[in-house]
Structure 1
Amino acid sequence: MTGWLAPPMLAAYALAAVAVAEAIVLAVLAVRLRRARAEVEVLRSRIDTRNLLLSGGREAVKTVWQTANLVREKGFGAAVRSSIEDLADWAEVERPDLARLTPDGHVVVLFTDIEESTALNERIGDRAWVKLIDRHNALVQRLVGEHAGHVVKSQGDGFMIAFAQPEQAVRCAVELQQALRSPRGRRPQTPIRVRIGAHMGRSVRRGDDLFGRNIAMAARVAAAAEGGQILISGPVREAVKDCDDITVGAGRDAELKGFAGTHRLYPVELDQPAPSGSG
């Protein structure tokens, strides 16, 4: 009996041994496969990092070269970009959808920027600057909300804001300037002067150049303003000229970067009663 059972048992042991050997081989292969995949990922990561460094290096060199040329041609002050330029460049790339703010697609875009913010930061120090900016930003956010506006983007010391109606934008800007002129709106030793500009145009949802030009126009109008001043374009002036609580001064012609010819810009008077409501 024992001799008759021996061959089947030996066969079973052999099969078991083969199964164990196959399992070991499969385990070894799995480990090697994981190692190979890890090596491939490391190599791929190194290649991506190298390409990123190369492209970043090229961009850095390009930026340094352009900045050096700008400093040489126009002086150091020209190399310091304002938040208006940064926000306008961002809008050109991101192309935010502003058409949803109003049924007819016409949107008022308003830019704000603290005048000589870099010099002010250096004078008062980083800690005081952060506190000052926090108070300023809270004031802007509150007034924009009260006048049914929408902060599209804020960057450092500037804002890009959209409104459905021109009178909302102008009233918000007037209240902001009045608050900044009030001793309660700022510390006496660290006054800030904000320049504000607004332009109205049709906003489209996808890729039309008109949208980009209206954003750029609003940025150029704001850049033409002085600290503490509100400038508006002709379309905004026409839209608010019949508002009893908004006074617009005599216009002046200005050349705006990127736009041919001259353009009539109008200052909004601030010596008037503070507007109430968002209209």
Structure 2
Amino acid sequence: MIEIVVTLIAVLEAAGLVVLWLLLVRARRDLEELQRRVDTRQSLMNGGREAVKTVWGAASLLRKKGFRGAVLTSIEDLAGWAQVERPDLAQLTSAGHVAIAFSDIEGSTALNERLGDRAWVKLLGRHERLVGKFVTAHGGHIVKSQGDGFMIAFAEAEQAVRCGLDVQDALGDSAGSLGRERVRVRIGIHMGRSVRRGDDLFGRNVAMAARVAGQADGGEVLLSAEVRDAVADEPGIAVTGAREVELKGFHGAHHLYTVERVR
């Protein structure tokens, strides 16, 4: 009799342990499901907040500047971005020299006004594809683009100059116009040494390239003295003019040079 009671107690204890184990498993699953729901809700809330911030930011920009002001940019804007971000471009060349080119469309504000926003955005798309094609062909890298402006990096000054000349030739060719519109692009190129993340020299060289581009006229490829010296003996490239200018933020007078392709 005692043996039967002991056996019964053992069976009940075992059954109790099984039930407890099942309850623990269920509780764990319920906890995991609850955590997933919390994570999903938090993710949605975070994503929603970011989306709202983006929408309100865009709306605020549109209210302040209008659509035209929101899509337009300048060489100065791109230079300012680069000096803050400072991407590591030194890998382009083991010698540490990087040629930096800036370009934008001359008279873009007036052109946008005349075309209207929809046609202007289409023109920007064609312009971006044209510039991108020649940058790729010459081994360059578009560091940043906004609106009608580009900041482009090359390992060699020759690559940058030949790319600039190709862009100008394409825009000057009747087959290379951007749709029905003739546009004039100004391009400025400067090169510097040891362009690295966190190195103030990067900011200086970017600013110099931006200042050179700011002095260019539509249809020109304008070079700093450093770039002129680097391509002086390259076949098919001819320096055709020089001018002395003062550049904002840089001491003294600076010599800049126009360049053309030798046919």
TM-score range for the pair, normalised by the shorter chain length: 0.7 to 0.9
Q: Is 2:247 the counterpart of 1:252?
A: no
Question: Which digits, 9 at most, give the CA deviation of each residue in 1:103-155, with x for residues without a partner?
Answer: 3212211111123445545615536743x344433332333344343333334
CA contact (8 A) 2:224 2:257 kept: no
1:13 to 5, 11, 16: 11
Taking structure 1 as reference, are residues 117 and 50 closer, same or farther at Cα in structure 2, changes over 3 Å only?
A: same
CA contact (8 A) 1:171 1:246 kept: no
Amino acid at match of 2:239: T
**Map 1:61-210 → 2, pairs under 5 A:** 82-117=73-108, 119-121=110-112, 123=115, 125-126=117-118, 129-130=121-122, 132-187=123-178, 189-210=180-201
Structure 2: gaps spanning 5 or more residues = none
Q: Is 2:206 the counterpart of 1:215?
A: yes
Q: Which residue of 1 aligns with 2:216?
A: 225
CA contact (8 A) 2:221 2:258 kept: yes
Aligned residue pairs total 257
Give the Cα separation in 2 of the matches to 1:169 and 1:154: 16
Taking structure 1 as reference, are residues 32 and 157 closer, same or farther at Cα in structure 2, changes over 3 Å only?
A: same
Taking structure 1 as reference, are residues 104 and 35 closer, same or farther at Cα in structure 2, changes over 3 Å only?
A: closer
Instruction: Give the SS at the match of 1:268.
Output: strand
Give the Cα separation in 1 of the matches to 2:50 and 2:179: 47
Instruction: Give the SS at the match of 1:250.
Output: strand
CA contact (8 A) 2:186 2:218 kept: yes
Taking structure 1 as reference, are residues 238 and 146 closer, same or farther at Cα in structure 2, changes over 3 Å only?
A: same
Give the Cα separation in 1 of the matches to 2:49 and 2:174: 54
Instruction: Give the SS at the match of 2:242.
Output: coil
Give the Cα separation in 2 of the matches to 1:44 and 1:78: 35
Taking structure 1 as reference, are residues 22 and 146 closer, same or farther at Cα in structure 2, changes over 3 Å only?
A: closer
CA contact (8 A) 2:188 2:213 kept: yes
162-171 or 79-88, larger mean C-alpha shift: 79-88
Instruction: Give the SS at the match of 1:154.
Output: strand
CA contact (8 A) 1:95 1:212 kept: yes
Q: Percent identity over the alignment?
A: 44
CA contact (8 A) 2:72 2:109 kept: no
Q: How big is the shift at 1:4?
A: 6.4
Pairwise CA RMSD: 4.0
Give the Cα separation in 1 of the matches to 2:257 and 2:11: 98
Q: How big is the shift at 1:36?
A: 6.0
CA contact (8 A) 1:112 1:222 kept: yes
Q: How big is the shift at 1:46?
A: 8.8
Q: Which residue of 2 aligns with 1:30?
A: 28
Give the Cα separation in 2 of the matches to 1:242 and 1:166: 12
CA contact (8 A) 2:73 2:147 kept: no
Give the Cα separation in 2 of the matches to 1:38 and 1:142: 46
CA contact (8 A) 2:105 2:185 kept: yes
CA contact (8 A) 1:248 1:266 kept: no
Give the Cα separation in 2 of the matches to 1:83 and 1:208: 24
Instruction: Give the SS at the match of 1:104.
Output: coil
